Structure 1
């Protein structure tokens, strides 16, 4: 079968691999689309500490069931369209024992710690499949990245009484924006790209701030003088991490999704004075996946505006190289195996 492999930093190519042979309880999927995640880009750039090379990337999956092994429930039938929860869990670590398997200490995400789905076929345990009747093949590939933002809002305990600021309006930040809006919160979107801020406005954001051309603190004093009660950091930038701690309201919650590329030093005085909650947010629960599927089923999400480009596997290297040079202009790039 055809597969995209990142052989080493800066080198991605299409190779031939053996089609997987499914075992008891597994399903063989025929891949339709796979989204490029920021983790795939950092793997390509050699900046992902969780990856060994060579690696098949990809965990944002749209597929159809091609074959089922023994032990798979009868409702998982050939031809059914599915997406995949791409995380593994050991069942024994503190996270798993606490019922938070998505944050398993020994998690292996497809395309990161183990080979992923940028290939024609992939085998997965049937328990990791989710069916989404009525969604298009493209929408199926958008579910997983949106769930990460949905989960961050869950971690932040957002309600209709909150003012939520989201740093970063890529796909992860968009997920946080959408779920905050769905919960009735007042939402402020911050980014350095006006086009992304325009789409955030269309998604229901009340206020947008371009932090490159506007003074963030001054704007926030006008919008929410006491500061936002929840801030979601989805940019992965040391500056936005610092801003989150500085701008959060007293007793507010800061939810961190983005991986900053370097260490961040904080004035710990603010931690104590504000009695703030600082929360990590990792991956997503099955319920987050179901919530995204339900939302996309409404048909209100601007799919065409969110998909920057759809390319064939042979262009994977070209796309990764171009994205690395101009990351701010990309929402979602999909690889098509149809």
Structure 2
């Protein structure tokens, strides 16, 4: 069992829906029939994180489908401020907006820009979100995974380089691609001790590292590299409402082709 989930629990935090009824105080733009996605997070508004505007890491957050029942139901009632209108997108792509937003938030944490070479460990959905966001912001992106099918998904998003670290020498390839300078930014979206440490090894001097994954066992570092390289090391959790809006713009722009991320559709009755 996932330690973050309380049971029993109705799942569903990556949401596509249609407005079927409004409360009397809901703004007029939330018209019945409009397609929407949802921010599944909550926050207290009073803690230190919330007071700094970083409500995404509120210690009292309860995510739909994780600490409270989610949207894998026919109907769900939500505050309108948690609901975001989307344009003419297929519902399966709308459901991708929330996990893509988690990757977008990570790129904001380390201020990814067009000046950067970004290395992303992990081409699962969250890593692909970081790849999409980095590419959309103009960075050169290197995707690393041990699964060729996942690396193909990264290529579909327009990643510049892919590396299967079980088949290639990762350090040699990175040194070659960066002329020995290493990368400006490493985004870790796997959650393994090995990739946690490789992030520090492969980031350049004055580089930035952000961790989205979390390791299940303690990680031992050569901490001298923290100081010698003067690395900025950050964590990343969930996403902010404005970031969800930015991802909606990205998906609606069609500049990032997310349709290839979806491998299979299943009916709930099955």
User: Is 1:115 aligned to 2:52, yes or no?
Assistant: no
* Corresponding residue number in structure 1 for 2:23: 69
User: Is 1:292 aligned to 2:247, yes or no?
Assistant: yes
Counterpart Cα distance in 1 of 2:250 and 2:156:
15
**Cα offset, 1:92, TM superposition:** 0.2
User: TM-score, normalising length from structure 1?
Assistant: 0.76
Counterpart Cα distance in 2 of 1:197 and 1:50:
28
**Cα offset, 1:295, TM superposition:** 1.4
Unpaired stretches in structure 2, ≥5 consecutive residues: none
Q: 2:9 aligns with which of 12, 35, 55?
A: 55
Unpaired stretches in structure 1, ≥5 consecutive residues: 1-45, 316-338
CA contact (8 A) 1:89 1:107 kept: yes
What SS class does the counterpart of residue 113 from structure 1 fall into? Answer: coil
* Corresponding residue number in structure 1 for 2:175: 221
What SS class does the counterpart of residue 20 from structure 2 fall into? Answer: strand
**Cα offset, 1:303, TM superposition:** 4.0
Which sits farther off after the overlay, 201-210 or 108-117? 201-210
* Corresponding residue number in structure 1 for 2:196: 241
User: Is 1:189 aligned to 2:143, yes or no?
Assistant: yes
Counterpart Cα distance in 2 of 1:59 and 1:152:
19
CA contact (8 A) 2:64 2:70 kept: yes
User: TM-score, normalising length from structure 2?
Assistant: 0.95
* Runs of 4+ more than 4 Å apart: none
Matches within 5 A, 1:125-144: 125-144=79-98
Post-superposition CA distance 1:290-337 (Å, at most 9, x none) = 11111111235444421121112244xxxxxxxxxxxxxxxxxxxxxx
CA contact (8 A) 2:251 2:258 kept: no
CA contact (8 A) 2:136 2:256 kept: no
CA contact (8 A) 1:96 1:104 kept: yes
Post-superposition CA distance 1:76-100 (Å, at most 9, x none) = 2222111001100111011111111
Counterpart Cα distance in 2 of 1:304 and 1:157:
26
1 or 2, which has the higher strand percentage?
A: 1
Counterpart Cα distance in 2 of 1:230 and 1:257:
13
CA contact (8 A) 1:62 1:140 kept: yes
Q: 1:257 aligns with which of 212, 229, 237?
A: 212
User: Is 1:103 aligned to 2:67, yes or no?
Assistant: no
